[in-house]
Chain A
Amino acid sequence: MTDDSKFHHGAVDDKVAPIVQMQDIQKHFGNIIALAGVSFDIRPGECHCLLGDNGAGKSTFIKTMSGVHQPTHGKILFEGKPMSFATPRDSMEAGIATVFQDLAMIPLMSVARNFFMGREPTKGRGLFKRFDVEMANDITMTEMRKMGINLRGPDQAVGTLSGGERQTVAIARAVYFGAKVLILDEPTSALGVRQTSNVLATIDKVRKQGVGVVFISHNVRHALAVGDRFTVLNRGKTLGTAKRGEITPEELQDLMAGGQELAQLEGSLGGTV
């Protein structure tokens, strides 16, 4: 665990009020029970990792937090008040920004237009209120450079970017707009070494600014490198939440695999999973 010491870990104070509290969330799609009662909260200044196997319900869960899905049962409290986000726009306006697993980008549109999609900066007033293209271009280039990607130009179509570059645009966009909560659904799955460490460093940076980060990953090393708390989902239910230091990487890995033995694999893979 060499990554372990790399980032500062704010000891999460249990007394700090959570920004978002999800209580006993259920989500059914027809006869499919994707979530069968999941509780979760996120406090300002912490990174709460959401872990679990494929199909465990992680993406479905964060989508109820970002207004894409409405929970079938259960309550969402935002800053202590009950809140139901009817659309993603509502949750955004509350200060929640999300990097979706599928990134939510339009390939035919330019990077800058994607970056500000739904939240375009404007100048002028009344009838002459217009999209401030120059400002959008400048900010996009700056934010992308911060993430370690040199774009060819702000007008490059997203469809021509590499998979990792696209992921970086989505992350940079969410970091830029995530005023209170930043949700990252497997943000590092396509990233190179330098970009991954940039993303982890960015998580650490925004956490220090008091933003609550929800981080979904299949990579135990990445999760342990930045996580303050770890919640493991399995088949639509929580297997429990552990604080940093309360759980060993091996235990966490076993939980993430749904409690099933990975032992025989571990030998041949040399524990590098």
Chain B
Amino acid sequence: MSDTTPNQTTDERIKAEPLISRLMKRPELGAIAGVILVAIFFVITADSAMFTASGIINFLTPAAQLGILAIGAALLMIGGEFDLSIGSMVAFAGLFFGVCVMVWGLPLIVAIPITFAFAGFVGAINGFIVIRSGLPSFIVTLAFLFILRGLSLVGLKWASGGSTQLRGVRDATENDWLAPVFSGDAFPGFFAWLAERGLVETFSNGTPKVTGIPVEILWFVVLALVATYVLLRTPAGNWIFAAGGDTTAASNSGVPVKRIKISLFMVTACCAALVAIITVIDAGSTDARRGFQKEFEAIIAAVIGGCLLTGGYGSAIGAFFGSIIFGMVVIGLTYTNFDQDWFQVFLGGMLLIAVLFNNAIRKRVTGER
């Protein structure tokens, strides 16, 4: 009755696993393969202008705006919940931000933090109701999809005196020292310098065709990296996977499931607020249709990125590539001879393929039982 065990380190019951099959188990694999396939498709069918520096920035900008939402949605989905109200949250946070700047005349250094705090608060309400009632987050946030959209309309009419648009944000923020962090292009000097050396394409007057990298792309990349780090390398990441995998098991193992889920709802709402701030400053106005149907696009990007609808599995990098696929398809079609309306067909098709693919991957990972 000894508990000595053979000290073997190799096991004759394991076949050497080829690299391909190891990669197959990564959740983001599908999205990366998708990016490559979609890129090949457009290299063949689209005007060559699509893959010049300005063409790439052209499709990365909408990809980034969606991607910021998709990364939040992916984290929440991995944590086992949905938020259908993020699109409306973009409009609502945009309204709040617009009111801060236009009605209350606050500088950005005040307006931006309180917009985030406000969005976080609304996210927490969402989360709190879901946790407390035990209802599916799908239905609770569906209610908030309408509530927030309606409140945005009502609020806009109040703030603008009857219209559903609040203009003049650009003038109000133009000279704010914080504006460059949330709007316009980053590194203009660097691009001008490249243009002088003839390293990037220029217009005939010598200004570069690409004057810098739009800030939303930088936010998008940074967010994807931070989210991936948190998921894979911090205890909080482990708790998110656990909470989404099995709420009871996670809670019985000491994971603070409620705290994690409410925090994730807050993070998602703050991602919506970030998109709202960036796009409102950029457009110079806010309106009630802002973020319309973005919740579906964000969830689709997350699913293309390998998130399981049942939670507990997925990746932020996957959502990153899922959003890039999105941007490439939306903008790419304008570079081709195809009818723009193929976009929706493409979208639905991608979603279907992604779900089937994810299902197969999950079976591989769990050994299907």
B-contact 0/1 string along A127-165, CB 8 Å cutoff: 001110100000000000111101010000101100000
Which partner residue on chain B sits nearest A158 by CB separation? B366
Given A106-B312, A117-B250: A152 in contact with B255 (beta carbons within 8 A)? no
Query: Does the CB pair B249–A104 fall under 8 Å?
Result: yes
> Is B161 in the interface zone, CB < 8 Å from A?
no
The interface residues of chain B lying within 8 Å CB-to-CB of A117 are 238-239, 242, 250, 253-255
Query: Does the CB pair A160–B254 fall under 8 Å?
Result: no
Point out which of B13, B241, B249, B256 has the most chain A C-beta atoms below 10 A from its C-beta.
B249
Other A-B pairs beyond A88-B251, A113-B242, A130-B229, 18, CB < 8 Å: A68-B252, A89-B254, A89-B256, A100-B252, A103-B249, A105-B249, A106-B249, A106-B250, A106-B312, A108-B241, A108-B312, A109-B241, A116-B238, A131-B238, A150-B11, A152-B11, A159-B365, A159-B369
> Is B18 in the interface zone, CB < 8 Å from A?
no
The interface residues of chain B lying within 8 Å CB-to-CB of A92 are 254
The B149-205 residues at the A interface (CB cut-off 8 A) are none
Whole-angstrom distance between the Cβ of A26 and the nearest chain B Cβ? 21
> Is B289 in the interface zone, CB < 8 Å from A?
no
Whole-angstrom distance between the Cβ of B359 and the nearest chain A Cβ? 13
Point out which of A87, A100, A103 has the most chain B C-beta atoms below 10 A from its C-beta.
A87
A146's partner among B5, B246, B313, B367 (CB-CB below 8 A) is B5
The interface residues of chain B lying within 8 Å CB-to-CB of A131 are 232-235, 237-238
Whole-angstrom distance between the Cβ of B12 and the nearest chain A Cβ? 10
Interface segment among A194-202, A247-255, A258-266: the answer is A194-202
The interface residues of chain A lying within 8 Å CB-to-CB of B238 are 109, 113, 116-117, 120, 131
Query: Does the CB pair A122–B235 fall under 8 Å?
Result: yes
Whole-angstrom distance between the Cβ of A230 and the nearest chain B Cβ? 22
Counting from the closest, the 5 A-B pairs by CB-CB distance are A118-B254, A159-B366, A160-B367, A106-B245, A120-B235
A-side residues, CB < 8 A to B, are: 6, 66, 68, 87-89, 92, 98, 100, 102-109, 113, 116-120, 122, 129-131, 133, 145-148, 150, 152, 157, 159-160, 197-198, 201-202
Q: How far is the CA of A107 from the CA of B242 in the complex (A)?
A: 10
B249's partner among A102, A148, A160 (CB-CB below 8 A) is A102
Query: Does the CB pair A152–B3 fall under 8 Å?
Result: no
Q: How far is the CA of A105 from the CA of B369 in the complex (A)?
A: 15
Q: How far is the CA of A87 from the CA of B251 in the complex (A)?
A: 8
Whole-angstrom distance between the Cβ of A180 and the nearest chain B Cβ? 15
The interface residues of chain A lying within 8 Å CB-to-CB of B246 are 104-107
The interface residues of chain A lying within 8 Å CB-to-CB of B235 are 120, 122, 131
Whole-angstrom distance between the Cβ of A217 and the nearest chain B Cβ? 18
Which partner residue on chain A sits nearest B229 by CB separation? A130
The interface residues of chain A lying within 8 Å CB-to-CB of B255 are 89, 117-118
| Overall SS of chain A's interface | loop
The interface residues of chain B lying within 8 Å CB-to-CB of A66 are 252
The interface residues of chain B lying within 8 Å CB-to-CB of A108 are 241, 245, 308, 312-313, 362, 365-366
Q: Could you list some 19 contacts between A and B, CB below 8 A?
A: A88-B252, A92-B254, A102-B248, A104-B248, A104-B252, A106-B249, A107-B366, A113-B242, A119-B254, A120-B235, A130-B229, A131-B232, A131-B233, A147-B3, A148-B5, A150-B6, A157-B367, A159-B367, A160-B367
Q: How far is the CA of A98 from the CA of B254 in the complex (A)?
A: 11
> Is B23 in the interface zone, CB < 8 Å from A?
no
Q: How far is the CA of A83 from the CA of B108 in the complex (A)?
A: 49
Which partner residue on chain A sits nearest B13 by CB separation? A152
A-contact 0/1 string along B121-157, CB 8 Å cutoff: 0000000000000000000000000000000000000
Q: How far is the CA of A116 from the CA of B249 in the complex (A)?
A: 13
Point out which of A87, A88, A104, A197 has the most chain B C-beta atoms below 10 A from its C-beta.
A104
Given A104-B249, A108-B313, A130-B234: A118 in contact with B3 (beta carbons within 8 A)? no
> Is B14 in the interface zone, CB < 8 Å from A?
yes
> Is B21 in the interface zone, CB < 8 Å from A?
no
Q: How far is the CA of A159 from the CA of B366 in the complex (A)?
A: 4
Whole-angstrom distance between the Cβ of B63 and the nearest chain A Cβ? 28
The interface residues of chain B lying within 8 Å CB-to-CB of A100 are 252
The interface residues of chain A lying within 8 Å CB-to-CB of B242 are 106, 109, 113, 117-118
Which partner residue on chain B sits nearest A107 by CB separation? B366
Which partner residue on chain B sits nearest A98 by CB separation? B252
Whole-angstrom distance between the Cβ of B105 and the nearest chain A Cβ? 35
Q: How far is the CA of A109 from the CA of B11 in the complex (A)?
A: 22
Whole-angstrom distance between the Cβ of A131 and the nearest chain B Cβ? 5
Query: Does the CB pair A104–B253 fall under 8 Å?
Result: yes
Query: Does the CB pair A152–B237 fall under 8 Å?
Result: no
The interface residues of chain A lying within 8 Å CB-to-CB of B233 are 130-131, 133
> Is B8 in the interface zone, CB < 8 Å from A?
yes
Given A197-B1, A202-B3: A107 in contact with B252 (beta carbons within 8 A)? no
The B1-54 residues at the A interface (CB cut-off 8 A) are 1, 3, 5-6, 8, 11, 13-14
Q: How far is the CA of A130 from the CA of B231 in the complex (A)?
A: 11
A-contact 0/1 string along B298-320, CB 8 Å cutoff: 00000000001000110000000
Which partner residue on chain A sits nearest B245 by CB separation? A106
Whole-angstrom distance between the Cβ of A139 and the nearest chain B Cβ? 15
Given A107-B245, A109-B242, A150-B5: A118 in contact with B250 (beta carbons within 8 A)? yes
